[in-house]
Amino acid sequence: MKAAIYPGSFDPVTYGHLDIIRRASEIFDELTVSVLNNKTKTPLFSVEERVKMLEEATRDLPNVTIDSFSGLLIDYAARKDIHVAIRGLRAITDFEYELQIAQTNRKFSDGKLDTVFLTTSLEYAYLSSSTVKEIASFNGDISECVPDFVGRLLYKKYNEIGAGNEQ
Ligand code: ADP
């Protein structure tokens, strides 16, 4: 049985992430999408909110599980006995950063954690959580970027914290 982890911030989950999740779930028997609880970043949504959004958005994918973790990915993967990490690549700018992380993870896990890259579907190449947050913070149209329920949660959040504060 082949299992993989797709780690990320998912703040919030976008159609770009969902495209990678669906494709990875077709390649692997089991996919764990895991929200990184990164104490050095100030996310817009809490880990619990992000987990809930991912659960809702992947309800139709039976072999996908949502989880969260803090600390090093290699330690988390070792605890779960999973040896493949999935990452998405949008542009050459992603590549340099992702290559460095992938090589670091491979080295410091003694070769136990490899990274498989899926390239973005072209229609989502422009899409990032930060862009979506910026547009939503000014009440712009994000219907082509995130599922409707995620959009509603974004507008609600910005109503609470004030427009233009995209975090
Ligand atoms: P990070 O994990 O770097 O904080 P994200 O949660 O935004 O950032 O992204 C998680 C993973 O999904 C990363 O590998 C990122 O490159 C990938 N990703 C994000 N947006 C897209 C997209 N539109 N198409 C393909 N992959 C994407």
**Do residues 5 and 85 touch, judged by C-beta distance below 8 A?**
yes
Identify which of 17, 51, 90, 119 to mutate to test ligand 1's pocket (most ligand atoms within 8 A of the CB): 17
59-97 burial: b if 16+ Cβ within 10 Å, else e:
eebeebbbebbeeebbebbeeeebbbbbbbbbeeebeee
Nearest C-alpha to atom 4 of ligand 1 is from which residue? 9
What is the tens place of the pLDDT at every residue in 48-96? 999 999 999 999 999 999 999 999 999 999 999 999 999 999 988 889 9
- Looking at residue 58, its pLDDT comes to 98
Per-residue pLDDT at 167 exceeds 60: no
How crowded is the C-beta side of 65, counted as CA atoms within 13 Å? 11
- Looking at residue 162, its pLDDT comes to 72
- Looking at residue 149, its pLDDT comes to 98
129 belongs to the catalytic site: yes
Beta carbon of 50 within 6 Å of any ligand 1 atom: no
Nearest C-alpha to atom 22 of ligand 1 is from which residue? 16
- Looking at residue 165, its pLDDT comes to 57
17 belongs to the catalytic site: yes
- Looking at residue 108, its pLDDT comes to 97
Residue 2 or 164, more confident: 2
User: How much of the chain, in percent, has pLDDT values that exceed 70?
Assistant: 97
Beta carbon of 12 within 6 Å of any ligand 1 atom: no
133 belongs to the catalytic site: no
What is the tens place of the pLDDT at every residue in 93-141? 889 999 999 999 999 999 999 999 999 999 999 999 999 999 999 999 9
Beta carbon of 43 within 6 Å of any ligand 1 atom: no
Nearest C-alpha to atom 3 of ligand 1 is from which residue? 8
Distance 17 CA to ligand 1 centre (A): 6
